[in-house]
């Protein structure tokens, strides 16, 4: 039976949460997090804390002494913030990066919700990574989070393709510490794609290729995509990238990165507030915002 009592907020006094990054002015997190706070009747303000690198220490210090409940952390501070915190949980320790800070009893605790958010987004596609041959294109921060998350699910093979091959090799080396050994780091070239893409069940774009304003390009030649593949593009602006469109046209199951963005944010919301996030509302808010912002595809 439905509970007719109004839901009690775990955060009863006014407080602030912010996103720390540089540059971070164009972050979408304030849009959907503020909508979620409003929906759940939380007296919270979500702010953008544009933080030049030499100000990181003072921004983190100010979180200790004020009515601040926590933060999101984005580029370029996901790693450098760690020594400034009191502790990090297992999710952040595994990846060596923090995207969410929670203040609890005066302590600043780092978490990483990117990997969980990504795995949930894959699960929406009806995909379980266990036993799959998966290619991640990219070896930057996002690729790193999802590679660690995937390695916990024992795919049969994880191919890491990056423009700078050395970065792909380094990522593969650090994954070995998780006792997952089936990685193949390769250079991201036409020839290597031709060789490796047809062997894959799952393709993941973790580069910025295809992102607005260069929204008319794709990291993978269309003809290499097979109808039985799953394609996940971390790019979410445009909502449907050229890669996603072409993959769907070739019969593959494909989606863009908005679901990961919302799910990592939903986990952060719950860490700060202790209550479930209104995920559908967060998604609808951000879809409407992006659609209203710019006509971001050319067709």
Total residues at the site for ligand NAP (CB under 6 A)? 24
Q: Is 147 in the site for ligand NAP (CB under 6 A)?
A: no
Burial of 73 (0-12, 13-18, 19+ CB in 10 A): buried
Q: Is 99 in the site for ligand NAP (CB under 6 A)?
A: no
Where in 232-261 is the site for ligand NAP (CB under 6 A)?
234-236, 257, 260-261
Q: Is 143 in the site for ligand NAP (CB under 6 A)?
A: yes
Give the shortest CB-162-to-ligand NAP separation in angstroms. Answer: 5
Give the shortest CB-219-to-ligand NAP separation in angstroms. Answer: 7
Closer Cβ to ligand NAP, 169 or 281, answer by number: 169
Give the integer Cα–Cα distance in Å for 262 and 33.
9
Strand pairing class (44-50; 68-73): unpaired
Give the CA count within 13 Å in the CB-facing half-sphere of 251. Answer: 5
Length of the chain: 299
How far, in Å, are 21, 23, 166, 197 from residue 48 at the CA level?
Answer: 8, 10, 34, 39
Give the integer Cα–Cα distance in Å for 84 and 234.
29
Residue from 18, 110, 129, 138 in contact with ligand NAP (CB under 6 A): 138
Q: Is 153 in the site for ligand NAP (CB under 6 A)?
A: no
Q: Is 78 a catalytic residue?
A: yes
Beta bridge partners of 187: 162
Give the shortest CB-283-to-ligand NAP separation in angstroms. Answer: 12
Catalytic residue numbers, as ranges: 78
Residues near ligand NAP (CB under 6 A) are 75, 138-143, 162-164, 167, 188, 206-209, 211, 234-236, 257, 260-261, 264
């Amino acid at each position: 039976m439905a509970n007719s009592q109004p839901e009690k907020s775990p955060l009863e006094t006014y407080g602030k949460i912010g996103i720390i990054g540089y540059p971070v002015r164009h972050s979408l997190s304030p849009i959907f997090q503020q909508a979620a706070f409003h929906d759940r009747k939380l007296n919270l303000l979500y702010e953008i804390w544009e933080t030049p690198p030499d100000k990181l220490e003072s921004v983190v210090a100010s979180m200790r002494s004020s009515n601040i409940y926590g933060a999101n952390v984005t580029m370029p501070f996901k790693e450098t913030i760690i020594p400034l915190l009191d502790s990090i949980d297992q999710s952040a320790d595994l990846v060596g990066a923090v995207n969410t800070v929670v203040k609890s009893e005066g302590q600043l605790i780092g978490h990483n919700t990117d990997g969980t958010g990504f795995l949930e987004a894959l699960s929406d596609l009806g995909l379980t990574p266990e036993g799959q041959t998966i290619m991640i294109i990219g070896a930057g921060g996002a690729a790193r989070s999802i590679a660690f998350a995937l390695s916990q699910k024992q795919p049969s093979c994880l191919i890491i393709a990056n423009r700078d091959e050395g970065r792909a090799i380094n990522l593969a080396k650090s994954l070995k510490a998780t006792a997952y050994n089936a990685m193949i780091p390769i250079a991201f070239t036409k020839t290597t794609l031709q060789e490796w893409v047809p062997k894959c069940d799952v393709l993941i774009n973790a580069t910025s290729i295809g992102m607005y304003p260069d929204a008319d390009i794709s990291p993978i030649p269309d003809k290499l995509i097979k109808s039985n593949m799953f394609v996940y593009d971390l790019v979410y602006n445009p909502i449907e990238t050229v890669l996603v469109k072409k993959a769907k046209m070739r019969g593959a199951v494909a989606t863009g990165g908005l679901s990961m963005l919302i799910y990592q944010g939903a986990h952060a919301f719950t860490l700060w507030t202790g209550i479930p996030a209104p995920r559908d509302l967060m998604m609808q808010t951000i879809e409407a915002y992006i659609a209203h912002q710019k006509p971001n595809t050319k067709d």
